[in-house]
Amino acid sequence: MKALILCAGYATRLYPLTVDKPKHLLPVAGKPMLNHLIEKLEKVKQIDAIYLVTNEKFYGMFEEWQKNSEFKKKIEVFNDKTTSDGAKLGAIGDMKFVIDKANINDDLFVIAGDNLFRLDVNKFVSFFEKNGAAVALYDVKDLDLMKKYSEVKIDEKSRVVSFQEKPAAPESTLAAICMYLFPKKKLNLIEQYINEGNNPDQPGRYIQYLYKREPVYGFVFTESWYDIGDLEQCKQADEDYKKGGVKDG
């Protein structure tokens, strides 16, 4: 199994903190936000390599971070060569980019580099091994907040039966987060999605496309989760991690 961490965005909502620094390397409790995520991936024995994709603007900083890191698993940083938010490949475009560049032919764990959570990732991997293609789900408990996320409905067997990216009038508070597991035999569908001219940006759009063609299962977790999208969330995560970890719920 390979892991792919998406870090090619420009985080304009976090300006001025991210004008000259990627948000994934912003400090949370004294160390880069990204380190907290990789510490989770390090505990998954099935993962034998971690790939990270970024852009031309921040590539050098990630290279320097990698040189100074002491993680046990192999980490390789890819530069998608984009130089601005308007010219970016998009999350799905970056997934295809790394699959091609690294010649990936294994199950693929995909996650956004700005996720902070208490979940033991091994639980998600076990769910995937039992069911197949999987997406992590979290109950945000707020219909208005759901307008920012992907609304998901699952059946009694946890199979995704509805998926709507940023719904205008959400009916559920079960949100998809950018944490996916794809079986190697179905990775070609990412290329198919791109070749058909679909939106390559928001990763949830690919799940919205995929579940109509192949079974996709939703893994619901209740451990705390932060989506670091703005200054307030970044500050709150830093404060909670300094106290010893985020609070459940």
CATH of 2-242, one of 3.30.465.10, 3.30.830.10, 3.40.50.300, 3.90.550.10: 3.90.550.10
State yes or no: pLDDT of 14 exceeds 80.
no
Amino acid at 119: L
DSSP state of 211: T
Q: How many CA atoms lie within 13 A of 95 on its CB side?
A: 31
Helix (H, G, I), strand (E, B) or coil at 79: strand
- Examine the pLDDT at 249 and tell me if it is beyond 50: no
pLDDT tens, position by position, 148-182 = 899 999 999 999 999 998 899 999 999 999 999 99
Question: Cα 208 to the chain's mean position, in Å?
Answer: 15
Helix, strand, or coil here: 90? coil
Q: Which of 27-31, 73-77, 191-195 has the lowest mean pLDDT?
A: 27-31
Phi, psi at 183, each rounded to 5°: -70, 145
**What are the pLDDT digits (tens) for 213-239?**
999 999 999 998 887 777 777 788 888
184-220: burial string, b at 16+ Cβ within 10 Å, e else: eebbebbeebbeeeeebebbbbbbbbbbeeeebbbbe
User: Dihedrals φ, ψ of 23, to 5°?
Assistant: -65, -25
Whole-prediction pTM: 0.93
